[in-house]
């Protein structure tokens, strides 16, 4: 007797029956933890594993299940889990470039709890660097507690600077920096600065430094405004054309070799990257140093920001008050933060934590500079960066505009360059705006 709906349907029916039988004899074990927390960063995971036992000791009977998950899981898997009401953790750390995508649709439909009142009433809004709440805010409501500040400095080969007679105290503006770069750059052999010409990861901090961004506080796309135009006109000649002073070779071993050989003299370096450089280029111990970012104009801002992480409490959490206590335990304990800084070089956003001696300790790798104090002095001036559910699309379109502007400049130089920059940035911004109009969620 033939199955009336065909062999494909029969196969699906058989698989469904077998799956049901398997699940019947192998039920999913019930969760034993009181709170489940996801983080995507191994360094965060290691630090929290040390901190959670003391939290559990303060709350007898409470069990925290800390899970290290991939960055992709935090984005795509969590988005799907919110929609399907399956396997949603109680607390989640989300990377800054993905956070905006969770704030789609009406506020009541956002999967994270609104933390605005908790943050304002507890005084945290004033205790922390306020600019760091902006990436986790939508329509005036805050959905995440910032993990970091990530102020930006410039890491440089101090030993080569000394040999070349470069006095960093005289580099106050980007004009000063470029003038020095033109003197010491040897095309194909040595470049003043590591900067990419094919993606916008370093363009964005320089855009923020000028007070620009991809979106304004209301979520409108502004990546073609006058600040963005001026940033592109500044950036492209650094990485393209006969007078360029910057180059990029990528990461990994080739970056290590480039720094060791003096191919790159300077690198844009937020706090987290200073640790990456220590690990990836250990031979440069004692030969590196840090200086503030050159200002756009005399007396202007000497830093920016690059990267970030928030922690949020999901609406599925059954114990939001307990989850809030855990978030504060992980993000505010001064001694834990100090040790975390020693391990990762990441400056916490709570300003009252910076009076710990750990931030004044000299670092032999960085020519005995007090790494923490240098970053902390700049941290209150980090710029605001606003977000949108379309943040990922905007970053991609900005990179496309950068590549097009670089190609134009290589072929035509200054001739018609400003007009092209304005037109190309507007094209990318219009594409983002068109997508935003088509999809209100």
**Nearest C-alpha neighbor of 87 from the set 145, 24, 33:** 33
Beta sheet of 246-247, edge-to-edge order? 246-247, 191-194, 264-270, 152-157, 288-292
Residue 12 pLDDT > 80, yes or no?
no
Cα separations (Å) of 256 from 189, 211, 269? 15, 32, 15
Neighbour-count burial for 158-184, b at 16+ CB within 10 Å, e otherwise: beebeeeebebeebbbbeebbebbeeb
Q: Mention every residue, 6+ apart, whose C-beta is less than 8 A from residue 378.
A: 151, 152, 153, 292, 302, 303
Backbone angles phi, psi at 43, to 5 degrees: -65, -40
pLDDT of residue 67: 94
pLDDT of residue 26: 63
Look-up: residue for tokens 């306020």? 130
Q: Mention every residue, 6+ apart, whose C-beta is less than 8 A from residue 404.
A: 424
> Taking residues 380-401, what's their average pLDDT?
95
Query: What is the phi-psi region of residue 150: left when phi exceeds 0, alpha when psi lies from -120 to 50, beta otherwise?
Result: left
Residue 307 pLDDT > 80, yes or no?
yes
pLDDT of residue 237: 98
Query: What is the phi-psi region of residue 286: left when phi exceeds 0, alpha when psi lies from -120 to 50, beta otherwise?
Result: left
pLDDT of residue 410: 97
**What is the percent of the chain where pLDDT is above 90?**
83
Q: Work out the mean pLDDT of the chain and round it to a whole number.
A: 93
Task: State pLDDT tens for residues 257-293.
Answer: 999 999 999 999 999 999 999 999 999 999 999 999 9
Task: State pLDDT tens for residues 19-43.
Answer: 767 766 666 555 679 999 999 999 8
CB 355 within 8 A of CB 188: no
Neighbouring CB atoms inside 10 A of 14's CB total: 11
Residue 205 pLDDT > 70, yes or no?
yes
Residue 409 pLDDT > 60, yes or no?
yes
User: Vertex 22, ends 21 and 28: CA angle to 5°?
Assistant: 120
pLDDT of residue 82: 78
Q: How far apart are CA 281 and CA 260, in angstroms?
A: 7
pLDDT interval class at 384 (50, 70, 90): very high
Look-up: residue for tokens 């978030």? 327
Task: State pLDDT tens for residues 142-163.
Answer: 999 999 999 999 999 999 999 9
Residue 441 pLDDT > 70, yes or no?
no
Residue 121 pLDDT > 60, yes or no?
yes
**Nearest C-alpha neighbor of 384 from the set 295, 271, 304:** 304
pLDDT interval class at 438 (50, 70, 90): confident
In this structure, what token pair is assigned to residue 163? 């040999």
As a dihedral over the C-alpha atoms of residue 236, residue 240, residue 245, residue 246, rounded to 10 degrees, the angle is 80
What pTM was estimated for this model as a whole? 0.89
Q: Give kind and range of the element (H or E) at residue 306.
A: none
pLDDT of residue 60: 95
User: Vertex 272, ends 268 and 274: CA angle to 5°?
Assistant: 60
Task: State pLDDT tens for residues 43-88.
Answer: 899 999 999 999 999 999 999 999 999 887 777 778 777 777 667 8
Residue 251 pLDDT > 90, yes or no?
no
Q: How far apart are CA 37 and CA 435, in angstroms?
A: 33
pLDDT interval class at 295 (50, 70, 90): very high
């Amino acid at each position: 007797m033939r199955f009336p709906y065909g062999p494909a349907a029969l196969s699906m029916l058989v698989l469904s029956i077998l799956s049901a039988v398997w699940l019947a004899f192998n039920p999913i074990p019930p969760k034993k933890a009181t709170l489940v927390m996801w983080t995507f960063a191994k360094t965060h995971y290691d630090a929290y594993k040390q901190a959670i036992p003391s939290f559990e000791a303060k709350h007898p009977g409470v069990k925290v299940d800390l899970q290290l998950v991939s960055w992709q899981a935090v984005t795509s898997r969590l988005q799907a889990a919110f929609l399907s009401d399956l396997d949603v953790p109680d607390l989640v750390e989300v990377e800054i470039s993905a956070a905006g995508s969770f704030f789609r649709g009406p506020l009541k439909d956002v999967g994270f709890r609104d933390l605005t009142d908790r943050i304002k009433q507890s005084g945290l809004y004033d205790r922390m660097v306020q600019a760091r709440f902006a990436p986790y805010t939508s329509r005036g409501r805050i959905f995440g507690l910032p993990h970091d500040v990530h102020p930006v400095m410039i890491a440089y080969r101090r030993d080569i600077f000394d040999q070349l007679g470069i006095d960093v105290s005289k580099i106050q503006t980007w004009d000063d920096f470029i003038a020095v770069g033109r003197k010491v750059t040897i095309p194909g052999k040595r470049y003043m600065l590591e900067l990419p010409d094919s993606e916008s990861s370093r363009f964005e901090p320089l855009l923020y430094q000028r007070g620009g961004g991809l979106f304004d506080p209301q979520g409108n796309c502004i990546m073609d405004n006058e600040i963005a135009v001026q940033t592109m006109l500044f950036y492209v000649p650094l990485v393209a054309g006969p007078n360029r002073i910057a180059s990029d070779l990528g990461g990994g071993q080739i970056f290590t070799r480039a720094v060791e050989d003096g191919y790159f003299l300077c690198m844009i370096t937020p706090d987290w990257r200073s640790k990456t450089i220590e690990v990836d280029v250990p031979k440069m111990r004692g030969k590196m140093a840090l200086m503030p970012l050159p200002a756009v104009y005399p007396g202007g801002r000497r830093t920016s920001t690059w990267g970030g992480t928030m922690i949020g409490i999901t609406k599925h959490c059954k114990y939001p008050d307990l989850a809030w206590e855990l978030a504060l335990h992980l993000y505010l304990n001064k001694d834990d933060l100090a040790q975390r800084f020693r391990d990762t070089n990441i400056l916490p956003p709570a300003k009252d934590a910076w009076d710990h001696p750990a931030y004044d300790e000299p670092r032999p790798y960085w020519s005995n500079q007090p790494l923490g104090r240098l970053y902390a002095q700049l941290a209150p001036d980090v710029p605001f960066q606003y977000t949108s559910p379309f943040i990922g699309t905007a970053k991609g379109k900005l990179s496309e505009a950068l590549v097009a502007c670089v190609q134009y400049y290589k072929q035509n130089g200054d001739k018609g360059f400003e007009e092209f920059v304005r037109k190309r940035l507007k094209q990318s911004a219009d594409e983002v705006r068109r997508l935003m109009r088509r999809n209100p969620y």
